[in-house]
């Protein structure tokens, strides 16, 4: 009798654990994505539950590297001393997924990096509007504000909010503040 109760408790706990994991890994990001899609911000759907769009990023980067290597081989610019040519378009070199997704989903899009939803803004007017925001509480991720990261980030612009953030922002980028 006690073994049946113990087995029932273990099975119930396991089911609750699975439900919690499904909620935190899948449903939470789906809800956030649907809120962004209602505002007109789309993006690629995650290819992995745990990694999000990271496998897509790696696949796109590998494909871009192969295309670039094939192009350099055809043009004869590749040599033993200098295996890669210098490119001045760093965005397409370092972040080819951003360029592809910008072409596919528009200037502003979202993607999942691990379990963290990323909002990418490449439209100049939207970036300007966000940077001119007077709100002191834009919302910082919980992992930046945790006490475990306090020695690493301190009270820097990444981890601070409110008046401390505003003061540091004025020092770093005074061109965004027109009043004296």
List helix spans (H) across the chain: 2-22, 28-38, 54-75, 90-94, 96-105, 124-131, 142-145, 150-153, 163-172
pLDDT one digit per residue (tens) for the chain, 180 residues: 888 899 999 999 999 999 999 998 888 889 999 999 999 999 999 988 889 999 999 999 999 888 888 877 776 655 555 555 666 778 888 899 999 999 999 999 999 988 888 999 988 888 888 777 766 556 666 666 666 767 777 777 777 777 877 788 788 877 766 665
pTM for the model stands at 0.67
Which string of b and e fits 127-154 if b means at least 16 CB within 10 Å?
Answer: eeeeeeeeeeeeeeeeeeeeeeeeeeee
Which token pair is 157?
A: 């612009």
CA distances (Å), origin 42, targets 115, 124, 132, 152: 17, 18, 24, 34
Helix axes 96-105, 54-75, angle to 10 degrees: 110
């Amino acid at each position: 009798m006690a073994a049946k109760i113990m087995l029932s408790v273990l099975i119930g706990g396991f089911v609750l654990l699975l439900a919690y994991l499904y909620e935190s890994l899948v449903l939470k990001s789906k809800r956030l994505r649907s809120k962004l899609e209602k505002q007109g911000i789309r993006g690629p759907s995650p290819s992995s539950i745990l990694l999000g769009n990271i496998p897509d990023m790696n696949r796109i980067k590998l494909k871009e590297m192969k295309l670039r290597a094939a192009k350099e081989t055809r043009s004869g610019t590749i040599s033993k001393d200098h295996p890669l040519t210098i490119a001045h378009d760093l965005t397409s070199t370092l972040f080819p997924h951003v360029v592809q997704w910008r072409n596919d989903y528009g200037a502003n899009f979202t993607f999942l990096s691990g379990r963290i939803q990323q909002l990418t803004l490449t439209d100049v007017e939207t970036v300007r509007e966000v940077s001119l925001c007077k709100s002191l509480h834009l919302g910082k991720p919980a992992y930046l504000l945790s006490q475990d990261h306090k020695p690493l980030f301190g009270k820097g612009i990444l981890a601070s909010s409110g008046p401390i953030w505003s003061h540091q922002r004025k020092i770093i980028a005074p061109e965004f503040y027109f009043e004296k």
